[in-house]
Amino acid sequence: MKDILSEIIANKRFEVDLQKQAISIEQLQEGISEAPTSRSMKQALSSSASGIIAEFKRRSPSKGWIKKEACPEEIVPSYAAGASALSILTDEKFFGGSLKDIRTARPLVEIPILRKDFIIDEYQLYQAKIVGADAVLLIAAALEPEKCNELAEKAHELGLEVLLEIHSSEELIYINKKIDMVGINNRNLGTFFTDVENSFRLAGQLPQDAVLVSESGISDPEIVKRLRAAGFRGFLIGETFMKTQQPGETLQNFLQAIQ
């Protein structure tokens, strides 16, 4: 079976190289002073009753287009009425997103925004800061531990929080004091097969004081209740909302069901 993650990372390297040719990292550094003030996603999840991170996602490598014509102007404000934070996909080729989606969303909401992408270079951290993201996703499976550490340190320098995504017990070594939140991805990034039980399997092996986030494959409010009982404070949900006619309304119904 083709390893989708390897294909995405190879494309990401090519993409970032092209972006650097168009706008240098020095130009990005000059624009940092005008970046919006950051909000704490970690704090938002820790103090939230629901912990829902509502995701804006147009497509996925496994499902294809979910909502091709989705506009952040319409969906993001409807999410903000109930979600603790937002996750916005900025990968274009595989997920149909762009940095413009965060730039558009930022003035419309007060809640924290996570730039969800395959971050492999500090250049992408500067981009995230400039468009108004508050946190970035670092994926253990896509990075060597040393590189992950470097990126986490740089993210903090820029005032960005870090959600580290792990998928297996082998990746526990990536967790350290530079990590603000630990996400368990229930989707295998090589095969894109999803199993929510992965969160429960790993929960007991994680630091007790970590802000834990369960990602992918969550569609049942009862699962959220079980995850919360297992110590999770964040629940990243995208497709369950995005595949419906009114994602914001679906979120409200979901919130009522988990109360």
Residues known to be catalytic = 55, 57, 116, 165, 185, 215-216
In this structure, the strands spanning 64-65 and 59-60 are antiparallel
Report the amino acid identity of residue 150. E
CA distance 27 to 255: 42
CA distance 226 to 247: 23
CA distance 74 to 123: 29
CA distance 234 to 215: 8
In this structure, the strands spanning 232-237 and 59-60 are unpaired
Partners of residue 136 on adjacent β-strands: 115, 162
CA distance 179 to 138: 9
* DSSP letter, residue 110: -
CA distances, 257 to each of 182, 214, 252 (Å): 25, 18, 9
